[in-house]
Amino acid sequence: MTRRLEGKTALVTGAGSGIGRAVAIAFAREGARVIVSDVNVAGGEATVAAIQKQGGETRFIRCDISKSSEVEALVRGTVEAFGRLDCAVNNAGIAGLMAPTGDYPEDAWDQVIATNLKGAWLCMKQEIQQMLKQGGGSIVSTASVAGLVGIQMAPAYVAAKHGLVGLTKAAALDYAKANIRINAVCPGVVRTPMVTVSTDQSKELEAALMAAEPVGRMAQPEEIAEAVVWLSSGAASFITGAALPVDGGFVAQ
């Protein structure tokens, strides 16, 4: 098996469960040393244990990405641990409240934007500064199909993910000549804790989510992770500023 990220250092936020955990495990499988980060300490440590079980080199650093001081400490801690930062995955995010635009509470709006958009930008800012020092790197952010099309009852989430896609494009252009590639993945419905908490209480909702996907099922987190690994590897060396749908055909409808 080709270890596509041998000798690289990777940072994955929101790695305590779901897509982030799958990405962190996949990076380790491909030979990267992995910094696992999450606000959920137990979840993050469980991911670290899973990576260590397969022989990977990893450490956990707790971080609330909505706080600039914690993000600075996260990137600094990554470099202190492993010497550099080659691949960053800005995956941490929250679903937020479901409500129509005219009824959406301001505090709920601020919370979603602070994590899903501002938090991703704070991470990107620090990652870019480190990558400039070392001569390059790759950044992949987890956006969503909600960053490409509208979704009812989720104005803050849709606004944040559209903003993240725009940020990805702008940043990619800013650093295209600095050997820093910046891309996003846009997953469809993925079977993660964010989804299963709701669907466990409503089989009708689960059926509706699967029916919304042209392939007739949800994605597994590992399927998104494979796209992230590819975008982070040399195989995607001429790709920057892309928002790649990994969505079972959702946005093609």
Q: What is the C-alpha separation between 51 and 25, in angstroms, rounded?
A: 6
**pTM of structure:** 0.95
Residue 134 lies in a domain: yes
Mean pLDDT, rounded, of the chain:
94
- Residue 37's pLDDT is 98
Q: What is the C-alpha separation between 175 and 118, in angstroms, rounded?
A: 19
Residue 202 lies in a domain: yes
Domain that holds residue 196: 9-246
Residue 228 lies in a domain: yes
Q: What is the C-alpha separation between 154 and 177, in angstroms, rounded?
A: 36
CATH number, domain at 89? 3.40.50.720
Residue 212 lies in a domain: yes
Helices (H) and strands (E) in the chain, counts: 9, 7
Angle (CA) 201 104 99, round 5°: 30
- Residue 148's pLDDT is 98
Residue 55 lies in a domain: yes
pLDDT lower than 50: segments of the chain: 199
157 is catalytic: yes
Phi and psi of 122, rounded to 5°?
-60, -40
- Residue 216's pLDDT is 87
Phi and psi of 197, rounded to 5°?
-60, -40
DSSP letter for 249, please.
T
Q: How many domains does the chain have?
A: 1
Residue 104 lies in a domain: yes
Q: Which of 60, 157, 175, 250 is catalytic?
A: 157
- Residue 30's pLDDT is 97
- Residue 194's pLDDT is 64
- Residue 212's pLDDT is 85
Residue 238 lies in a domain: yes
Residue-wise pLDDT for 104-144, tens only, equals: 999 999 999 999 999 999 999 999 999 999 999 999 999 99
Residue 36 lies in a domain: yes
- Residue 199's pLDDT is 47
- Residue 209's pLDDT is 80
